[in-house]
Structure 1
Amino acid sequence: MILILSHEHIDEPTNTIIDWLSFYNARFLRLNGDDFLQNKYVKIDINNTTVITNYGQVINSNEISIVWYRRWIKPTEKKTFFEKFKQLNFTNEEALLVETYDKYLQKESTTYVNGIFSVFKDKLWIPKPSKARGNINKLDVLLRAKDIGMKIPNTIVTSSKKEVALFLKANGSIITKPIYEANCFDYKGESAPMYTKEVSENDVKAFPQLFFPSLFQKKIDKQFEIRTFIHRNKVYSMAMFSQNDVQTSIDFRNYNWVKPNRYVPFKLPQKEEEKLLKLLNDLDLNTGSIDLIYDDKGNYVFLEINPVGQFGMVSINCNYNLEKIIANDLIALSNEQKRTDERDN
């Protein structure tokens, strides 16, 4: 049986793959991370290697052949329940106690969730949970890409205003973006996304002498951007002409819904695909979404990789039908594992 790990929130590629699995009458189960939040029923039976869901569904490890990790719990849902405390006048000591206890519960939650994953540790994972969302270090990936021979932007991490000023002077134009992930902050119904931003000389002048360590990169003058999705050594790429719109020129995720960017199928040179496949192999990944830039000098510049990044836009805009391809692959892998088990028994 195929086990799909996701969450309750909208993720159309997951839903479409499930539609294809249903169309082919494949055996599968979907397990949502939201079912294991602190206010839900949870049971992990270590001796019998089973997980019982919030709805009483029993999932036995022996019945699972393939695990497709798509999503789990949204970062904004990883919280404990201190709403009532906000209405009270807490002292600093009390607030620190609440913060410390909250961190403790987060660690407890992370540990038992990892225990759920361990129930299925002997199965084929796409990708492995140890490499899934949040567990890939952006700086490590850049270093590995450079070692493989890929071009990367000039990059520094610093807490010094002086160093940023020198970096800006040396590179002409620079940007900043998160070292970890580009999450959103929700406040009073508004969402503040962490987009990539250009850093001007005036911005630097306004910096304090020391600040929280931040990542800065040379701004790459691009002809277009490339989003590449890799699934088990198969490479699918799309060119995005984000530079034609001021709104999306720095970060294509700052979508212009009125006048969307142009997206077209794209074929990377074989040597560039080979570098990406080697990078995935070095990272112990069997899938991932990769961002590249084709710069004004004709170079392919690697930016970053997300093990569970969005691929729906690549599938739809390029008519790759990736959801059908992935569904068929999951079915083939599951059938292959079943035949192997029958031979062994």
Structure 2
Amino acid sequence: MTNAGPQVLILTQEFDPTSDPVITTLAERGARVARVDLSYFPRRLTVTTSDFGGAPRRRLYDRHRDVEIDLDDLSAVWYRRPTAFDFGPDMGEAEKQFARREAMQGVGGILRSTNCLWVNRPDVDGVSELKPYQLELAKRLGLRVPRTLLTNDPQEVADLVAAEDRPVVYKALAGGVIHYPGAFPGGLLTTVVGDEIHENLERVGHTMCMFQEYIDKAYEVRLTVIGNTYFPVTIESQEMDSTRVDWRGEDAEMPYGPYRPLPDDIVKKSQALLAELGAVYGALDFIVTPSGEYVFLEVNPMGQFMWMQHDLGLPLGDHLVDLLMKGGPFTRGEVTQVGY
């Protein structure tokens, strides 16, 4: 008996606890679920598209699991966190560079050609992750964002610190994760700039750096958007020293606050931002000032959500499953806010 449920492709790495419960629920609801990592290509994963021999065909074939996926039959793809192509130890570096370029064009182009729902397409994620672009777009749409300096010129930073009578923070553009060989990844949290900046100004010249005005906080909001469903979570970041500047600094007990639905204008502007980016899923961060003003910080198109499901009982995974089961096309429309 053939399972007629929707075909869903999950592109993620081997160890990904966030995707596991979603995959389980999809299967329980009758979906045909295939989990594939791009590191399987080319030694384990075969990717083929052809117009020869009759009807056109496009397929992925996982040789280890003996699983074939008809790309034209896909309802949805969840582009979660796949790892890079793996060409093995026997190929020389020059050949690997050539093979990687060919794979990016071929595999990327084939997957991009699928006519199904993507949460989110990798090209959408790539553009959406550009923090300077996010900030400019948010300003254009009427959201308040912190005043920002982006530079690799140490003198620009020295001049800013000297001129400002309010605190300035440094914030990494790409999440701040540093992978040291043989160790767990380290992270750079948002940090208030102190006197040590004068001794380390030359480091600004090593790469692009982002400095922003420090915004006084009443509390913060992590907003997870799954399709047209909004999950705003209040974080009382000012109640703990470890979360006062950056709530990611707390790894034991997050200081959640009561559910507070977003104002209509913030919903409308967030919808416009995600529509402009083309993102179906996004995790947005806001500061709420003592006067009640929302200040947009960033949107992470691949932000984690399972921690809030575990802590607060929010049905985030179920709503993602609903979205993947339904498939495309997706359009932004009326918003439903879900509390806890």
TM tier, smaller: 0.7 to 0.9
Would the aligned equivalents of 1:264 and 1:317 in 2 still touch at CA under 8 Å? no
Distance between the aligned counterparts of 1:199 and 1:102, measured in 2?
A: 42
Would the aligned equivalents of 1:35 and 1:54 in 2 still touch at CA under 8 Å? no
Task: Select 1:254's aligned residue among 249, 258, 262.
Answer: 249
Q: Does 1:145 align with 2:148?
A: no
Task: Select 1:321's aligned residue among 294, 315, 318.
Answer: 315
Q: Percent identity?
A: 23
**Residue 73 of structure 2: aligned partner:** 63
Would the aligned equivalents of 1:44 and 1:50 in 2 still touch at CA under 8 Å? yes
Would the aligned equivalents of 1:156 and 1:216 in 2 still touch at CA under 8 Å? yes
Flag the structure with higher helix content.
1
Secondary structure of 2:223's partner? strand
- Can you list the C-alpha shifts for 1:39-69, whole angstroms capped at 9, x where unaligned? x323211202111124232111232122222
Distance between the aligned counterparts of 2:61 and 2:301, measured in 1?
A: 27
Would the aligned equivalents of 1:142 and 1:304 in 2 still touch at CA under 8 Å? yes
Task: Select 1:176's aligned residue among 144, 155, 170.
Answer: 170
Q: Does 1:296 align with 2:290?
A: yes
Alignment of 1:1-345 (within 5 A): 1-12=7-18, 14-36=19-41, 40-47=43-50, 48-55=57-64, 56-73=66-83, 106-118=100-112, 121-132=114-125, 136-168=129-161, 169-170=163-164, 172-208=166-202, 211=205, 212-257=207-252, 259-333=253-327
Distance between the aligned counterparts of 1:67 and 1:321, measured in 2?
A: 20
Distance between the aligned counterparts of 2:101 and 2:46, measured in 1?
A: 18
RMSD across aligned positions (CA): 2.9
Secondary structure of 1:49's partner? strand
Secondary structure of 2:251's partner? coil
Query: Alpha-carbon deviation of 1:178?
Result: 2.1
Q: Which amino acid is 2:314 matched to?
A: Y
Query: Alpha-carbon deviation of 1:135?
Result: 5.3
Against the structure 1 CA distance between its residues 7 and 230, is the aligned structure 2 distance closer, same or farther, given a 3 Å change threshold? same
Against the structure 1 CA distance between its residues 143 and 188, is the aligned structure 2 distance closer, same or farther, given a 3 Å change threshold? same
Against the structure 1 CA distance between its residues 191 and 72, is the aligned structure 2 distance closer, same or farther, given a 3 Å change threshold? closer
Q: Which amino acid is 2:130 matched to?
A: N
Q: Which amino acid is 1:64 matched to?
A: L
Secondary structure of 1:315's partner? helix
Distance between the aligned counterparts of 1:18 and 1:321, measured in 2?
A: 14
Would the aligned equivalents of 1:153 and 1:217 in 2 still touch at CA under 8 Å? yes
* Between 313-322 and 63-72, the greater mean CA deviation after superposition: 313-322
Distance between the aligned counterparts of 2:176 and 2:305, measured in 1?
A: 17
Query: Alpha-carbon deviation of 1:297?
Result: 3.0
Distance between the aligned counterparts of 2:128 and 2:235, measured in 1?
A: 27
**Residue 93 of structure 1: aligned partner:** none
Q: Which amino acid is 1:122 matched to?
A: N
Against the structure 1 CA distance between its residues 65 and 264, is the aligned structure 2 distance closer, same or farther, given a 3 Å change threshold? same
- Can you list the C-alpha shifts for 1:61-90, whole angstroms capped at 9, x where unaligned? 2321222222211xxx678778x9xxxxxx
- Can you list the C-alpha shifts for 1:196-220, whole angstroms capped at 9, x where unaligned? 2222133234312861321111111
- Can you list the C-alpha shifts for 1:262-293, whole angstroms capped at 9, x where unaligned? 35433111111111001101111121111111
Would the aligned equivalents of 2:150 and 2:209 in 1 still touch at CA under 8 Å? yes
Would the aligned equivalents of 1:264 and 1:318 in 2 still touch at CA under 8 Å? no
Distance between the aligned counterparts of 1:210 and 1:23, measured in 2?
A: 51
Against the structure 1 CA distance between its residues 78 and 248, is the aligned structure 2 distance closer, same or farther, given a 3 Å change threshold? farther
Secondary structure of 1:178's partner? coil
TM-score normalized by structure 1? 0.81
Query: Alpha-carbon deviation of 1:294?
Result: 0.8
Would the aligned equivalents of 2:61 and 2:68 in 1 still touch at CA under 8 Å? yes
- Can you list the C-alpha shifts for 1:175-196, whole angstroms capped at 9, x where unaligned? 1122234333123324321322
Distance between the aligned counterparts of 2:326 and 2:182, measured in 1?
A: 47
Distance between the aligned counterparts of 2:286 and 2:105, measured in 1?
A: 35
- Can you list the C-alpha shifts for 1:83-133, whole angstroms capped at 9, x where unaligned? x9xxxxxxxxxxxx96x7775565445334414523x52222122221125
Q: Which amino acid is 2:67 matched to?
A: Q
Against the structure 1 CA distance between its residues 327 and 148, is the aligned structure 2 distance closer, same or farther, given a 3 Å change threshold? same
Secondary structure of 1:62's partner? helix
Question: Runs of 5+ in structure 2 lacking a partner?
Answer: 1-6, 51-56, 331-340
- Can you list the C-alpha shifts for 1:224-253, whole angstroms capped at 9, x where unaligned? 111001111221100112222222222222
Question: Runs of 5+ in structure 1 lacking a partner?
Answer: 85-96, 337-345
